Amino acid sequence: MFKEVLVPFTETERSERTLAIATDLTRALGGSMRLLVGSSDDRIGQLDMAQRVADSISIRTGLRATVTAMVTQGFFHDELVDETAASPDAILVLSATKGGRRAALTGSMTMDVLTYLDRPVVLVGPKCEPAPLLRDGPVVVALDGSDGAERILASAEAFADTFRRPLDLMTVLDPDTSADLVSARSGDVQESAYVANLARSSAPQIPTPMYEVRHGDAAPEIVETAIARNAPMVAMTSHVPLGLDRLLHGSVLDDVVAMSPVPVLAVHRNDSIS
């Protein structure tokens, strides 16, 4: 399980929200936090501010919080991917500044990180509420019947075990849309049989998950389930449409992050990666 939480540092209100959630996550993991600062016109000022924030977190919480200055040769997402990949016990927490249809994912940087980092990322959306990880419900896992979507299961189980919460597996059937959580392969989702079988085969260290099939528009159904279950986190894969298709339609992940009051644990759905 992860022992270090990485957070890109910026002096914005959304960064404060992300830092607060990253602090709660660090406490739950029993690990440390590292603020990542990229090159900028006022890099010294940014580093000084990040160090003051890290010192404040350490004093207030007793957690170990440090700062890493990263030299940005090209795009910041490249350095974030490299830094996270070089830290095998680290998980990256990103502020998702946008979301919903007609948006370029939760921010183009987030899309690039998800695409090129073969590891789960915690996304903090614009409607994420304070202290969501203290909620006492299950970790809600959204699945669609594909092997790619099931890549998130192991990480979701690990987080559920860390939070001492059960899993709640769900799938959403909506034959009138091409959204991610509609069955990716004909016959894979047969009402509750799919999630029921996954629930029975879940990791033995956590309670047997609940499971549910809902009907409707995928993203609202996922968010409504998380709210109804008082979930601390939603877990799902990203299957990101590109180019004009993305601009016009977005993705289910976009919409979930845009609406969710809790963080979203996401990993890129790359069926070629075992």
Q: Give the three-class secondary structure for 107.
A: coil
**What domains can you pick out in the chain, each with its CATH number?**
4-95 (3.40.50.620), 132-268 (3.40.50.620)
Q: How many residues are given for the chain?
A: 274
For residue 10, pLDDT over 50 is answered with yes
Which pTM value belongs to this model? 0.84
Which residue type sits at 269?
R
> What CA–CA distance (Å, rounded) separates 171 from 213?
5
pLDDT confidence tier of residue 112, bands split at 50, 70 and 90:
confident
CA angle 108, 112, 115 (to 5 degrees): 135
Q: List the one residue out of 135, 269, 119, 138 whose CA is nearest residue 202.
A: 138
Predicted confidence band at 103 (pLDDT cuts at 50, 70, 90)? very low
Question: For residues 267 and 152, what is the distance between their CA atoms, to the nearest angstrom?
Answer: 6
Give the contacts of 86 (CB within 8 A, at least 6 positions apart). none
Gap between the terminal Cα atoms of the chain: 19
SS3 89: coil
> What mean pLDDT do residues 108-126 have?
86
- Interval 153-211: pLDDT, tens: 989 999 999 999 999 999 888 656 444 444 444 444 455 566 767 776 665 555 667 77
Nearest-CA neighbor of 23 among 14, 32, 12? 32
User: Distance (Å, rounded) from C-alpha 83 to C-alpha 80?
Assistant: 5
The angle subtended at Cα 204 by Cα 169 and Cα 196, nearest 5°, is 30
